[in-house]
Chains A and B, each alone.
Chain A
Amino acid sequence: MPVENGCGLCKVKIEDMGVVKGRDVLLENVNFEMHCGQLTAIIGTNGAGKTTLLRSILGEIRHEGTVAYESHDGKVIKNITIGYVPQHLEFDRFSPVSVMDFLLAGQSTRPVWLKPDKKIKERMLLALESVGCSGLENRMLGDLSGGEIQRVMLAQAINPIPELLILDEPVSGVDMVGAEQFYQQVSQLRKDYHMAIVMVSHDLNLVREYADTVLLINKTVLKQGDVNEVYNSAEFRNTFGGGI
């Protein structure tokens, strides 16, 4: 098991993050750290700002505060590779895009209607195999099941191997077996590649089983720590009403 990932990233530090849209404050004063080799789960009620937080880290929306990447010896790393798996994908299911088209489009600038580069194609076939989706390469993206789509998204997101993997409720709308499978795969990635993984999730049971650190938010960080710490806190009970 490698102790270092590609660029030597050790932690992602979020400081004083805030997001305002119109007159609404979506996030304020958010401070936390994510470590490599750990799965950080973000939980909270609907509208708590979970997706907004992820999109701010991605740099997709304008925000206050900073996102800094630091190496083991405290040096700041400017650019890291980020992999992203979006929330249960809403897209046009009749769109004639094959799984291989989709994967190749994210890997190279060579238009996917030309004959693909052999090496890249082989790498993508391996990627599909690694997420348990062998044989799907010629299927239309819209013909896949929810679980298959999310695993294909994962195959895209982990090529090239990212230092930070961001997952936005990756298994909402996916059946229980598919969800469990997905979590196991992600969990394995954390071990194999020592990447930092941050995931928004609704499924508190799966979070309990797989997350190393939990962040409970509602516009700001209410509670952070390991699973037991957060799940036994008063803030957690106030948010989710005791039982899960």
Chain B
Amino acid sequence: MAFEPKILAFSCNWCSYAAADLAGASRMQYPANLRIVRVMCSGMVHPNLVMEAFSKGADGVMVLGCHPGECHYLDGNIKAQARLAVVEEMLDAYGLEPERFRLAWCSSAEAERFVEVVTEMTEAVRGLGPNPFRPTRPEDAQEVA
């Protein structure tokens, strides 16, 4: 069985989560590797939370917010961008590739963009291989068996 990455996305309620819903309503298809954690604003995502996801074995983490200027809370997304810059440094310290983390913007109408971003990310992470911190999972055990 090929490596199936597990990708976590923190999606803001107003834009990217809505885009994900719309992708469903439009029956667009994307890889089933994504797990979305709904947040009210991308500005709510603490850098430690992202790092916690990596330490628990997420192969990729995304933070998806509204386009600059369209944040429901004035500029939470801009704050997210500034604050999450530190994640790259931390990844470096952990010895993880910067491509495992991505911050992207996506409006509530941009289902297509959502699908594109998620698909790209999945493929990119698939190419990187598993997160070395990834604990052994039942499905991996099956692989060996």
Q: Do A and B bind each other?
A: no
- B-to-A contact residues, CB < 8 Å: none
